[in-house]
Amino acid sequence: MTLGINQDTEINNQVALLQNELNRLNKLFEFTGITNAVSDIDSLAIQLVAFLSDTFKLKKSAFFVYQDGGYRVIAQDNIDSAHYLEFKNKGEGLWHLLNEGKPINLLKDNKERLFTTFFELYDLFELEAQVFLPFVFHGSVISVISLGGKENGEPFSDENFGFLQNLIQFFTPVINKYIKQKEKESSLVQLQKTLHNISILYNIGQAMNFIDDLKRLIQIILAKALQTLGAERGSLMLYDSSTDELVVKVVYGLQDKEYEKKINDGHVECTRIKSGEGIAGDAFFNKKAIISNLGENDPRFFPSDGTREQALRVQSLICIPLIVKDEAIEVINITNKKDGKFFNQDDLDFMGALSNQAAIAISNAKLYELAITDSLTKLFIRRHFDFLLESEIKRSIRYKHAISLLMMDIDNFKSINDNYGHQMGDEILRKISHTIKSTIRKIDMPCRYGGEEFA
């Protein structure tokens, strides 16, 4: 009789072992099914969270992965503000357990929460975590899964913890593989973006070498910046040292092209801001680039985009000071990404590289403009006019085209200086030169030929 009982017990034990092995194989089969259904760390995280939530009927769960110095949520179930949750490895007591790579019961006697200091430090109580599953590869915690309580209120059993240990062992190398894959993909994307930006900067540099028209040069710089950053519009603010003010002189990307042209031609007086005033003034004064993704809600914001109504459409802004020989000379403003996203560090890095090139090119163009322009009338000087005239005569002969030359002077100009002073004479010269510039075509070349003579 005793022999029969022992045989029955042995058979039952064998059946139980076989059943456990079958359950283990079934779970391994499910694990394999998950790995076969995913191709990256994000989809793996979603599948694992769904699998664990369904297996244990969890109230909440979240998948944290190590990114940029902290652990951030990339998948969750029933946690509204999960994207705000983050924690770091500061060597707290909990980390000694996490580094062991085993499931951690976060409740004492399945009731009182352990490691409350850690949860308070990172405000993680919304997780309602009862178990942490750490995934450790080569001594580093690469991810952590947080399991909330079960819907039926039952605690996690020893059998549950055994199952979770098997899950950790199975998925640790899988998680590591997909994390490394994402890092490689991110590195490749970053490399491609860097090469693309270098190509753009090279093309801009080449274009700068062949453009001596300052306004046209600035428009090309703004156009390339908007194209690369996917932004709506840009502007360049010149510094007026006589008033210590910045004023918009060139804009690009406005929907109203007629209004844009008026600004660029100097027919619209844009808002002036003091150095240190507003976001652009702050960037200029401190010689430091600024990203503001608060737009007009930024307390430093000061409308300076031509009209107050247009300026109020600013959702995000990058202000880059142009610096030559450690002195800020202008500020480039890039406004609003077309896709509604915010400007980021990559955008700032590109604009920093572009501004270095632009500052030198604009400075050289301004020196060239000073060399060929009369300081009083802002018309070409005679030496440059003689060069242009000779070139146009040769072109006319080559292509058999007509050429026109108009010469004029101011009658009795000497008597004006004698009777009213040279300041009045200078004002008359400025008025006449302004009339000439506002009357001629773009292809015409006005010059101050002599004292009161124009061509």
Q: What is the pLDDT of residue 105?
A: 95
Indicate whether 306 pLDDT > 50.
Answer: no
Domain boundary among 334, 350, 372: 372
Residues 311 and 390 in one domain: no
H or E element: which one contains 432? helix 422-439
pLDDT digits (tens, 9 = 90+) for 213-235: 777 888 888 888 898 889 999 99
| Domain shared by 215 and 85, yes or no | no
Round to whole Å and give the CA distance between 453 and 455: 7
Give me the amino acid identity at 341: K
Helix (H) or strand (E) holding 163: helix 158-209
Confidence at residue 169, expressed as pLDDT on a 0 to 100 scale: 92
Q: What's the rounded mean pLDDT across residues 186-212?
A: 75
Residue 224 and residue 157 in one domain:
no
pLDDT of residue 159: 86
Residues 258, 113, single domain; the answer is: no
Query: DSSP character for 63?
Result: E
Q: What is the pLDDT of residues 241-259, one digit of tens each?
A: 888 999 888 899 888 888 8
104: tokens are 């951690």
| Over residues 2-25, mean pLDDT | 65
Mark which of 306, 337, 372 sits at the end of a domain.
Answer: 372
The DSSP string of 5-41 is HHHHHHHHHHHHHHHHHHHHHHHHHHHHHHHHT-SSH
What secondary structure letter does DSSP report for 307? S
Q: What is the tally of structural domains in the chain?
A: 3
pLDDT band per the 50, 70, 90 thresholds, residue 311? very low
In a domain, 200, yes or no: no
Mean pLDDT of 75-104: 88
CATH of the domain at 433: 3.30.70.270
Domain assignment present for 190 = no
**Dist. CA 235–CA 227, nearest whole Å:** 14
Residue 40 lies in a domain: yes
Q: Is residue 345 part of a domain?
A: yes
Mean pLDDT of 256-285: 86
24 and 48 both lie in a single domain: yes
Both 24 and 154 in one domain: the answer is yes
Name residue, tokens 């191709």.
39
Are 260 and 311 members of one domain?
yes
What is the DSSP-derived secondary structure letter of residue 440?
S
How many angstroms separate the CA atoms of 342 and 292, rounded?
Answer: 9
pLDDT of residue 303: 64
Tell me whether residue 348 is exposed, middle or buried, using C-beta atoms within 10 angstroms of its C-beta: 0 to 12, 13 to 18, 19 or more.
middle
Domain membership flag for residue 377: no
pLDDT of the residue at 210: 64
* Concatenated DSSP letters of 91-146: --HHHHHHTTTS-EE-EETTTEES-HHHHHHTT-GGG-EEEEEEEEETTEEEEEEE
The reply to whether 59 and 166 lie within a common domain is yes
The DSSP bridge pattern shows strands 245-252 and 129-137 to be unpaired
Per-residue pLDDT averaged across 256-281, rounded? 85
CATH code for position 136? 3.30.450.40
> Looking at the DSSP assignment, which residues form a beta bridge with residue 111?
none
Q: Which of 271, 355, 282, 364 is nearest to 320 (CA)?
A: 355
Residues 167 and 28 in one domain: yes
pLDDT in tens, 396-439: 888 888 888 888 888 888 888 888 888 888 888 889 888 888 88
- Per-residue pLDDT tens for 159-193? 899 889 989 999 999 999 999 998 898 888 878 87
What is each CA distance from 261 to 169, 258, 330, 366, in whole angstroms?
Answer: 66, 5, 20, 21
What is residue 340's DSSP assignment?
S
Residues 233 and 368 in one domain: yes
Domain range for 33:
11-182
Q: Is there a domain that residue 196 lies in? A: no
Distances (CA, A) of 294 to 250, 315, 317, 426: 24, 6, 8, 47
- For the chain, how many helices (H) and strands (E)? 13, 16
Domain termination site, one of 163, 182, 201: 182
Distance CA 378, CA 373 (A): 6
* Rounded distance between C-alpha atoms, residue 411 and residue 439, angstroms: 20
* Beta strand spans in 308-428 (E): 317-324, 327-337, 408-409
What's the confidence (pLDDT) of residue 211? 64
pLDDT digit string, tens, across residues 283-301: 999 999 999 888 888 888 8
* pLDDT the model gives residue 130: 95
pLDDT over 50 (residue 92): yes
Q: 36-67 pLDDT, tens per residue? A: 788 899 999 999 999 999 889 999 999 999 98
263-287 average pLDDT score: 86
Evaluate if residue 368 carries a pLDDT over 90: no
Q: Among the listed ranges 126-135, 139-148, 208-217, 279-288, which one has the minimum average pLDDT value? A: 208-217
Whether residues 352 and 429 share a domain: the answer is no
In a domain, 189, yes or no: no
Q: What is the mean pLDDT of the chain?
A: 85
d(Cα 261, Cα 382) in Å, to the nearest integer?
29
Q: Are residues 425 and 298 in the same domain?
A: no
The reply to whether 193 falls in a domain is no
Give the angle subtended at the CA of 84 by the CAs of 83 and 90, to the nearest 5°: 115
363 pLDDT exceeds 80? no
